[in-house]
Each structure stands twice: as structure tokens, then as C-alpha cells.
Structure 1
């Protein structure tokens, strides 16, 4: 069994298919660890989750957008206007459109999010978590907000990286994180970023970047096409579509 990791596809089903095909992923034999945020942004959240559910050895971790979508589809955002507006603006509207306005998320898809882990530590001591954790304590003692939302862990380590300091997360053999796009840290960082034994897997699929999948053991990386080019008439979370942006250049 090969082990692969991927993160933050944000409704980009076409990109997800490309990554699985280009990596030679075997849906019946290989393990896929998805570090959260399959929802919100591009138009195919429903198809994306259906594809993940077809994989025999899927481990799905909860992301902050997954939490938003889960709260919406279980009725917990109905009375919280500001949070609902924030979710809709940051990709939630595309998720609703994927299922159909006023329609529920299919039970088996909702179940994937409801049963998602907040983190994973493998038998060989590799940590996977969506946003980060408090290095002063074990991950199991870290609060959900830090695991799903906070960028403190990434920002502090990236600062050390830019200062050419050694980065080593001592509790774990390796750490894999999603949530913060590498292209948001450095527009030229279009592939997963290795910082010591810490790897950032979100390469900006929700915006102008590609979706990336990595073989955890060989460290080989495969990428989709830039996801906005796969949905050329959709603004996604960019606020402007690929076709419209190209027209502005003419």
C-alpha cells in the first residue's frame, strides 16, 4: 500500500481527478490522507466528496471550511447572519449551488464530514492536521480552533524559514499541514513547501494555484493544471474567472 497526502481541493473535482490519475493512485490499494477542505470555492463539491467516498483507504481530516459547511447543513448557521455571510462569500455559495439551493447534503456525504478526524498521527509518528497545533503540548491537547483555523503555527515556522533557521518539530517524525496556501506566503512557491520536517500541502487550488498530491514515503509530487483553468467561467474565490482575466489582458 502506498500512502498519499492531499489538501484543500475546494470543490475542484477536475483537479482531484487529475491528481489521482497522474500519481497512479490505486483506489482499491492505496491510502489517501486528505487534510481537509474538500468544499467551498469551485462548483463540484458534491462530485468531489462522492469520489473520495469511492476510495477504499481514505482518511479524511476536518478543515475549517468543512466545519462551516457541516454547520450549515446541520442547521447551525441559520441564526448566525455574520458567520453565514462570511461562509457564503468565501466559497460557501458554490457549495450550496453544487447540491442545489434548499436541498440537503446527501447523508453519506454529511457523514464523511461528521466523522472526520481533527488530526492523525500514524504508527510511524507522522502528524497530519489542517491548520496547525500548539507545539507546547501534545496535539491531542490542542483546541479545535487552533487545529482548524489558526495560522500561528505556520506563520511562526515560516518566519524562521525565511530567516534561514533550522526547523524541526521535535514531537513528530514529520508534520503535514494544509490551510495556508504556499502561494500566499510566496507567489513563486507553487509546489508543497518543505521546511525541515514540516510540509505545507495547500498550493492554492482555491485561487490561482494547482492541487498537489504527494507520495508520503517517496516525497514525489504530482499536480493538477491550475484549477481556475479547469473552471474557466467560474470566479471561484478569486472574484474573477480565468476567461474574464484573460479578456482584461487583451
Structure 2
């Protein structure tokens, strides 16, 4: 069994298809660890989840956008300000993907409801969407820190920039998504290695590509820039590929 990890496809079904095809993932035999946020941004959340559900050995971790979508489709996203925030940050595309006023299919909602907050493998590799509190066991870290907070990555990235990447004790490696590498450095278009911390979100929801990595060999495959696969859509960047070409 090969082990692959990817993250933050944000409704980019075409990019997900490209990555799974290019890495040669066997849906029956190989494991895919998805670090969250399959929803919100591009127009094909429904198709993306349909595709993930075909992977027999899928491990799905909860992302912050997943939590938003799960709350909306379970009737718990009732505060107007938060609803508007979600819709503005990609939720509109998710709603359109399933159809206005239509429910999320039970199997899709179950994927989000049953998602893990983190995963530790038998060979002691930690996977989590956003980060964790290194001063306590990950099992004692609150959900907000695991799926929303950027304090973890800000701390580690600041040390990395100063030439002193921090080693995370207690784990062989740590994989995270959530914070796009291209928003930290627009030249960082591939997964970023900072000692034993690896950032997998390479900006698929914005102007970047979706990345998938073989956990054991560290080989990386990428989609085309996702906005070129949806040239008339704005995604989460606010400007479509077609609009950019006219600028």
C-alpha cells in the first residue's frame, strides 16, 4: 500500500482528478490522507466528495471550511454574520454545487461529520489541518487550534525565515494544510519543508496548484494552476483567469 497526502482542494474537482491520476493512486489499494477543506471556492465540491468516497482507504481530516459547510447543511449556521462570512469565502460555490436550497447528500455530510481532527500513524507521523499546541499532547489541543488557528504556522515560519527551522519533538514528521504556501511567499509553489514540518496547501483555492505527496518517497505531483481549469470562475482570489488575461 502506498500512502499519499493532499489538502485544501476547495471544490477543485478537476485538479483533484489530475493529482490522483498523475500520482497513480490505486483507489482499492492505496491510502489517501486528506487534510481538510474539500469544500468552498471552485464550483465542484459535490463532484470532489463523490471522487473521494471512491477511495477505499481514505482518511479525511476536518478543515475549517468543512466545519462551516457541515454547520450550514446540518442547520446550525444560523448567525447572519457568520453565514455571510462563509458564503463570501467560498460557501456560495458549495451551495451552487449542490443546488440552492437543496441538502447535502447524507454520505457527503457523513464524511464531514465523521472527519478526524488529527491522525497519528503507526510510524508516528502527525497529520492535522491547521496546527496544534506543542506544549501539550495533541489529544488535549482544542478544536479551534487544530482546524482554525494560524499561531502554530506563524511561529514556525518566522523561525524558518530567520534560518532556524524548529524541530517538532515527539513526531517523526508533521503534515499540515490550511495556510497556503503562496500567501507566505509567492514563489513557494510546492509543499514547504521546514525541518520535520511539511506544509501541503499550495494555494489551490487561489492562484496556485493542488499538490499531492507520497508520504514515504516524498515525491510530489501537482495539478495545473487550478484557476486555469475553471477560467471563468473567481475561486477565492476574487479574479478569474479570464479576467487576469484581460488586465
Range of TM-score over shorter length: over 0.9
Superposed counterparts of 1:99-178, under 5 Å = 99-178=98-177
1:201 maps to 2:231: no
- CA RMSD in angstroms comes to 0.5
Superposed counterparts of 1:25-104, under 5 Å = 25-78=25-78, 80-104=79-103
Return the alpha-carbon distance in structure 2 between the equivalents of residues 244 and 183 of structure 1.
20
Q: Name the counterpart of 1:233.
A: 232
**Regions of 4+ moved over 3 Å:** none
SS in 2 for 1:214: strand
| Paired positions, count | 247
SS in 1 for 2:101: coil
In structure 2, list runs of 5 or more residues that go unmatched: none
TM-aligned CA deviation for residue 171 of structure 1? 1.2
Q: Name the counterpart of 2:220.
A: 221
Return the alpha-carbon distance in structure 1 between the equivalents of residues 182 and 236 of structure 2.
14
SS in 2 for 1:110: helix
Return the alpha-carbon distance in structure 1 between the equivalents of residues 24 and 226 of structure 2.
20
Return the alpha-carbon distance in structure 2 between the equivalents of residues 142 and 96 of structure 1.
31
Q: Deviations over 1:140-180 (max 9, x none)?
A: 00000000000000000000000111421001110000000
Return the alpha-carbon distance in structure 2 between the equivalents of residues 81 and 166 of structure 1.
41
- Contact 2:156-2:165 within 8 A present in 1 as well: no
SS in 2 for 1:188: coil
Return the alpha-carbon distance in structure 1 between the equivalents of residues 233 and 6 of structure 2.
23
TM-aligned CA deviation for residue 236 of structure 1? 0.9
Return the alpha-carbon distance in structure 1 between the equivalents of residues 165 and 55 of structure 2.
37
Return the alpha-carbon distance in structure 1 between the equivalents of residues 165 and 232 of structure 2.
43
- Contact 2:181-2:202 within 8 A present in 1 as well: yes
Return the alpha-carbon distance in structure 2 between the equivalents of residues 186 and 233 of structure 1.
26
Return the alpha-carbon distance in structure 2 between the equivalents of residues 54 and 164 of structure 1.
42
Return the alpha-carbon distance in structure 2 between the equivalents of residues 104 and 245 of structure 1.
34
**When the two structures are superposed, what TM-score results if normalisation uses the length of structure 2?**
0.99
